[in-house]
Structure 1
Amino acid sequence: MIATRTLRRPRVLIVGCGDVGLRCVARLLPRSRVFALTSHAARAGELRAAGTIPLVGDLDVRTSLARLAGLAPVVLHLAPPPKAGDADTRTRALLAALAAPRRRPARYLQRAQFRGRRSAGGLVGRFATLAAPATGAAIGVPRGKAPIVPEGVGRAAARPVRRVPVRLVYASTTGVYGDCGGASIDETRPVRPANARAMRRVSAERQLRAATARSAVRASIARIPGIYAANRLPLARLEKGTPALIDADDVYTNHIHADDLAAILLRMATHGRPGRAVHASDDSELKMAEYFDRVADAFGLARAPRVSRDEAEKTLDATLLSFMRESRRLSNRRLKRELGVRLRYPHVEDFLRTVTAARK
Structure 2
Amino acid sequence: MKKQFKKIGKPRLLIIGCGDVGMRLLPLLRERFRVFALTSQPARAAELRAAGAIPVIGNLDQPASLRRLKGLAQWLVHLAPPKAEGEMDSRTRNLAAILPDKCRLVYVSTTGVYGDCGGAEFDECRPVAPQNARAIRRVAAENLLRDWARASQSRLSILRVPGIYAADRLPLERLRKGSPALTAAEDVYTNHIHADDLASLICLALFRAKPSRVYHAVDDSDLKMADYFDLVADQFGLPRAPRLTRAELMQQVSPVQLSFMSESRRLDNQRIQRELGMRLRYPDVQAGVAAASAALT
Give the TM bin, normalised by the shorter chain: over 0.9
The Cα offsets for residues 186-214 of structure 1, whole Å up to 9 and x where unpaired, read as 11111110011100000000011111222
Structure label with greater radius of gyration? 1
Q: Please point out which of 191, 206, 209 is paired with 2:128.
A: 191
Indicate the residue corresponding to 1:61 in structure 2.
62
Indicate the residue corresponding to 2:12 in structure 1.
11
Distance 1:291 1:226 in 2: 11
Q: Is the 8 A contact 2:190 2:266 kept in 1?
A: yes
1:358 Cα deviation from its structure 2 partner: 4.8
In the alignment, structure 1 residue 309 sits paired with structure 2 residue 246:
yes
Indicate the residue corresponding to 2:74 in structure 1.
73
Distance 1:197 1:59 in 2: 17
Indicate the residue corresponding to 2:43 in structure 1.
42
The Cα offsets for residues 4-58 of structure 1, whole Å up to 9 and x where unpaired, read as 97x8122110000000000010111233211000111221121112111000111
Distance 1:241 1:261 in 2: 29
In the alignment, structure 1 residue 294 sits paired with structure 2 residue 244:
no
Q: Give unmatched runs, 5+ long, in structure 2.
A: 1-5
| Moved >3 Å (runs of 4+) | 355-360
In the alignment, structure 1 residue 200 sits paired with structure 2 residue 137:
yes
1:192-341 alignment, distance < 5 Å: 192-341=129-278
SS in structure 2 of the partner of residue 13 of structure 1: strand
Q: Is the 8 A contact 2:188 2:264 kept in 1?
A: yes
Give the structure with the larger helix fraction: 1
Distance 1:337 1:12 in 2: 26
Distance 1:13 1:304, change over 3 A: same
Q: Which amino acid aligns with 1:233?
A: L
Distance 1:38 1:358 in 2: 30
Indicate the residue corresponding to 2:3 in structure 1.
none
Distance 1:264 1:88 in 2: 24
The Cα offsets for residues 223-263 of structure 1, whole Å up to 9 and x where unpaired, read as 00000000100000000000100000100000000000000
The Cα offsets for residues 268-306 of structure 1, whole Å up to 9 and x where unpaired, read as 111111111100000001000000011111111111111
1:94-173 alignment, distance < 5 Å: 94-99=95-100, 165-173=102-110
Aligned-residue Cα RMSD (Å) equals 1.5
1:345 Cα deviation from its structure 2 partner: 0.4
Q: Is the 8 A contact 2:167 2:296 kept in 1?
A: no
Distance 2:171 2:18 in 1: 22
Higher relative contact order (CA 8 A, sep 6+): 2
Further displaced range: 25-34 or 198-207: 25-34
Further displaced range: 22-31 or 336-345: 22-31
Distance 1:218 1:62 in 2: 23
